[in-house]
C-alpha cells in the first residue's frame, strides 16, 4: 500500500476508534450513538429494503431538480453569454432571484405543487439552476475572439454554427463545473425538501423521522449515507467528465 493511502486509512480508523471510545464513555445513545450501533442500524436498513426505497425517492427528487436545472439553465446561460442584448434583459432578473436561499421557496413550492415529489424537485431546482447558469454564461462569454475568427475564415459564419462548433465545445468544461457545483447544492436541498412531508421515504426524510422517534443511531446512519451518496455521485461525474470530455482542458492547465 502506498504511504499516502496508508495514512488515510489510519486516519479513518483512528477517528472511528475515538468515536467508539467517546460514545462508551458518554454512555448515552441519544447524545452520541456508538459506531457499532450505527453499523447495526445500517445493516438493518439495508436488509429491510428501506435504504433502497429511500435512496430511490431521494434520487428522484434530486434528478427532477437537477434535470430541470440543466435543461433550463444551459440554454439561458448560452443566450446570455452569446448576446449582449439577452444578457441585459435576463441578468437583472437572475441577480434578483439568485441570492434567495432555495429553502425559502418551500412555502411556494407547497402552494404551487402541493405535497408532491415535484415540490421537492422544485427546491432542488432552485438550488441547482444558478450555478449551471452562471458557469454556462461565463464559458460562452469567455470564448476567445481568435477562435471565433478562425472559425469564420474557415466557413463557420452563422451564429448557429459558431455556437455549436466553437462556443459550446469551448464552454463545456465550464458547464461541467457548473453542473458539479449544482449537484452539491442540489443534494443539500434534498434534505431540506424532504423535511416538509412530500413523502414517507427519502434519505433526508429519514433523518427527521429517526430524530422524532429519538433514535439517533438512525439519524447518524442516514447522515453518513447522505454523505456517501453525494461523494459517489461527485466522483462518478468527475470521472466521466475529466476522463472523456475535458482532457484538452486539463492539458491546457498543466501546460501553463
Partner 1 sequence: MLKINNLSKKYDDLLVLDNINLEIADSEFICLLGPSGCGKTTLLRIVAGLEEATTGRITLNNQSITGPNTCIGMVFQDYALFPWRNILDNAIFGLEMKGVDKETARNKARKYLRLLGLERFEKSHPHELSGGMKQRVAILRALLIKPEVLLMDEPFGALDAQTRNQLQIELLKIWNKDKKTVLFVTHSVDEAAYLADRVIILSKRPGRIKETIEINLPRPRDRTSMEVNKIRSRVLKTLGAEQEAQA
Q: Report the residue number, 28 or 161, with the smaller CB distance to partner 1.
A: 161
Q: Which residue has the cell 472511528?
A: 16
Q: Does 1 sit near partner 1 (CB under 8 A)?
A: no
| Number of C-beta neighbours around residue 185 at 10 A | 20
The C-alpha cell of 201 is what?
421515504
Q: Does 101 sit near partner 1 (CB under 8 A)?
A: no
Helix, strand counts (H, E) of the chain: 12, 0
Residue selected from 53, 152, 195, 234 as contacting partner 1 according to rule CB under 8 A: 152
Closest distance of CB 74 from partner 1, Å: 17
Region from 15-23, 33-41, 44-52, 241-249 binding partner 1, contact rule CB under 8 A: 241-249
Closest distance of CB 80 from partner 1, Å: 22
The C-alpha cell of 215 is what?
433514535
The C-alpha cell of 17 is what?
476508534
Q: Does 161 sit near partner 1 (CB under 8 A)?
A: yes
Distance from chain centroid for Cα 170: 23
Residue selected from 25, 96, 153, 213 as contacting partner 1 according to rule CB under 8 A: 153
Residue selected from 125, 170, 205, 209 as contacting partner 1 according to rule CB under 8 A: 170
Q: Does 150 sit near partner 1 (CB under 8 A)?
A: yes
State the maximum Cα–Cα separation within the chain, in Å, rounded to a whole number.
75
Distance, in Å, from the CA atom of 215 to the CA atom of 31, rounded to the nearest integer, reads 10
Site string for partner 1, 172-201 (x = CB under 8 A): x-----------------------------
Residue selected from 5, 47, 155, 213 as contacting partner 1 according to rule CB under 8 A: 155
Residue selected from 13, 157, 236, 240 as contacting partner 1 according to rule CB under 8 A: 157
- Whether residue 202 contacts residue 222, with contact meaning beta carbons closer than 8 Å, is answered with no
User: Concatenated DSSP letters for 153-195?
Assistant: HTT--SHHHHIIIIIHHHHHHHHHHHHHHHHHHHHHHHHHHGG
Task: Give the footprint of partner 1 on this chain (CB under 8 A).
Answer: 146-147, 149-157, 161, 165-166, 169-170, 172, 247-249, 251-252, 255
Amino acid at each position: 500500500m502506498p504511504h499516502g493511502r496508508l495514512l488515510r486509512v489510519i486516519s479513518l480508523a483512528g477517528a472511528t476508534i475515538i468515536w467508539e471510545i467517546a460514545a462508551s464513555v458518554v454512555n448515552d445513545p441519544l447524545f452520541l450513538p456508538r459506531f457499532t450501533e450505527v453499523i447495526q442500524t445500517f445493516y438493518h436498513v439495508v436488509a429491510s429494503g428501506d435504504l433502497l426505497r429511500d435512496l430511490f425517492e431521494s434520487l428522484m427528487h434530486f434528478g427532477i431538480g437537477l434535470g430541470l436545472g440543466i435543461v433550463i439553465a444551459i440554454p439561458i446561460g448560452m443566450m446570455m453569454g452569446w448576446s449582449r442584448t439577452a444578457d441585459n434583459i435576463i441578468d437583472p432578473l437572475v441577480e434578483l432571484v439568485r441570492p434567495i436561499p432555495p429553502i425559502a421557496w418551500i412555502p411556494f413550492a407547497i402552494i404551487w405543487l402541493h405535497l408532491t415529489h415535484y415540490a421537492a424537485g422544485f427546491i432542488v431546482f432552485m438550488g441547482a439552476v444558478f450555478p449551471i447558469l452562471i458557469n454556462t454564461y461565463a464559458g460562452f462569454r469567455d470564448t476567445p475572439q481568435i477562435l471565433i475568427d478562425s472559425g469564420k475564415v474557415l466557413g463557420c459564419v452563422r451564429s448557429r454554427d459558431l455556437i455549436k462548433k466553437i462556443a459550446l465545445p469551448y464552454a463545456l468544461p465550464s458547464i461541467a463545473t457548473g453542473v458539479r457545483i449544482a449537484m452539491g447544492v442540489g443534494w443539500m436541498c434534498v434534505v431540506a425538501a424532504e423535511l416538509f412531508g412530500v413523502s414517507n421515504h427519502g434519505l433526508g426524510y429519514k433523518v427527521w423521522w429517526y430524530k422524532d422517534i429519538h433514535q439517533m443511531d438512525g439519524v447518524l446512519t442516514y447522515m453518513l449515507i447522505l454523505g456517501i451518496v453525494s461523494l459517489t455521485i461527485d466522483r462518478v461525474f468527475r470521472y466521466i467528465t475529466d476522463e472523456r470530455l475535458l482532457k484538452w482542458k486539463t492539458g491546457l492547465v498543466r501546460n501553463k
